[in-house]
Amino acid sequence: MTCRPVRVLRSIGVRCLMIVGVLSLLACSDRSVPPFSSRKPATLLRSSDLASLQASLVEVATAIRARLVNGSNPVLGVLTRMEQAELKALYQTGGYSPLWVDATGRPNGSARDALALLDGAADEGLDPADYRQGPLDGLAALLETASPLLPRDLASFDEALSSGMLRYLRHLHMGRVDPRAIGFRLSVPADHHDFAALLRSALADHRVTEAAADLTPPLAQYRALRIMLTRYRSLAADVTLESLPPTAVAGRPGEPYTGLGALYRRLVAFGDLPAGTPAPAESAAYEGTLV
């Protein structure tokens, strides 16, 4: 019987990749940064300024309409035809009024909820960078500034958050990659969710976070893999799990091995060795429970 401890070096990354892949498969077969609430509240404006701000929101709506009707928006980059149509449908129902800013020209509560969801996308096996487009990365300055942004900047922020949320909800529910496109022979029932209507309803009811939770695949396997993904990412970041010493040959039972302590700590962390197992002496041979 032989053991190759070098394999343990790769196991955390491999397990993370496997979990991310299976999360996507489960989502398809069923057809998540510090909380923004902790940031400093935006400075309140005088009531005499509100009329001017409300007028600027009309300009925001005009800017949004012009971009969506013309189908050209350099802020959002490349969108598929489906994404363009979905974004237009989201705004058209409300006369292209902004969805994520209030009468003071500040992000509203739903915007904060949405950004928290996008920042936590990695918890669902997704990449936050896929949803934080254009001006979204400047949100901190937007929240804390004492001066309202220009209408065109508010329009850019509003559209970028809408586009990111629509894509996030679709990926959360259906998966980021269609398994059939990478060789899996699955029979998947058709799913025709109207994500634009779902998002608009969630905004009207101030329940963006709950709407996302409702779209999460209701599978026990998905919930278990989500927990394990967080666990293995935590293990990957644990500096106490030092690398095993390199070896050019397989370690055989009864032979000395200089990495016994590191190997023991990794096996316990992975759950492959009971936590109560006595730690081996560094001078001991590779034998017993470790084998």
Ranges of H-type helices in the chain: 6-30, 50-70, 81-92, 109-119, 139-144, 151-174, 195-204, 208-215, 220-236, 260-270
Within 10 Å of residue 6's Cβ, how many Cβ atoms?
A: 16
8 A C-beta contact, residue 173 and residue 27:
yes
What's the rounded mean pLDDT across residues 72-97?
83
- Strand ranges (DSSP E) for the chain? none
Angle at 141 between CA 137 and CA 145, to 5 degrees: 155
Residue 86 confidence (pLDDT) above 60:
yes
Does the predicted TM-score (pTM) go above 0.85? no
Average pLDDT for 143-147: 63
Structure tokens at 23: 């999360």
Contact (CB, 8 A) for 261 and 283 = no
Reduce the DSSP state of residue 192 to 3 states and report it: coil
Which residue shows structure tokens 């967080």? 230
- pLDDT, average across residues 269-288: 84
Residue 281: CB atoms within 10 A of its CB come to: 9
Instruction: Convert the pLDDT of each residue in 173-211 to its tens digit.
Output: 988 887 778 888 877 676 778 999 999 999 999 999 999
The token duo for 87 is 């974004």
- pLDDT of residue 245 exceeding 60, the answer is yes
Task: Please write the tens of the pLDDT for every residue from 103-136.
Answer: 777 889 999 999 999 999 999 999 998 898 766 6
Position 175 scores a pLDDT of: 87
Query: Mean pLDDT of all residues in the chain?
Result: 79
Tens digits of residue pLDDT in 160-171 = 999 999 999 999
Mean pLDDT to the nearest integer, 149-172 = 90
